[in-house]
Amino acid sequence: MPDQGPSEPTATLLRDLERRIDTELGPLRAGVEPLLAELRRGLTALYPTAGGRQLPPAQQEAHRTRLAQLMDSLEDILEALQRSARARRPSAASGRTA
């Protein structure tokens, strides 16, 4: 069975996050793509589409714990990549003081 992605509204939130990452990072998004794929899989497991199999409570808790750790890592990496992306922009360089 193909991966259908998470149910709504989770899928909408994930799309919005990915759009914001694209806007801020552009090609640097490749640095977080593996984490975004893992996030997508985890959310799909926790929030399946209609007719999808719901995980047992113990597995749900394990997935939530893993997703919380993943989100912490993603946040740290996104902040570092965002600083790098901003430093590369021409307007950022001209606005710096010595």
Domain residues of the chain, as ranges? 10-94
* DSSP code per residue over the chain: -----PPTTHHHHHHHHHHHHHHHHGGGGGGTHHHHHHHHHHHHHHSPPTTPPPPPHHHHHHHHHHHHHHHHHHHHHHHHHHHHHHHHSHHHHHT---
> What's the predicted TM-score (pTM) here?
0.78
- Across the chain, mean pLDDT equals 86
pLDDT at 90 over 80: no
Residue 81: HSE in the Cβ half-sphere, 13 Å Cα cutoff: 20
At 83, list the tokens: 């600083």
pLDDT at 3 over 80: no
Mean pLDDT of the 16-44 span: 92
Q: How confident is the model at residue 32 (pLDDT cuts 50, 70, 90)?
A: very high
The larger pLDDT score, comparing residue 8 to residue 55, is at 55
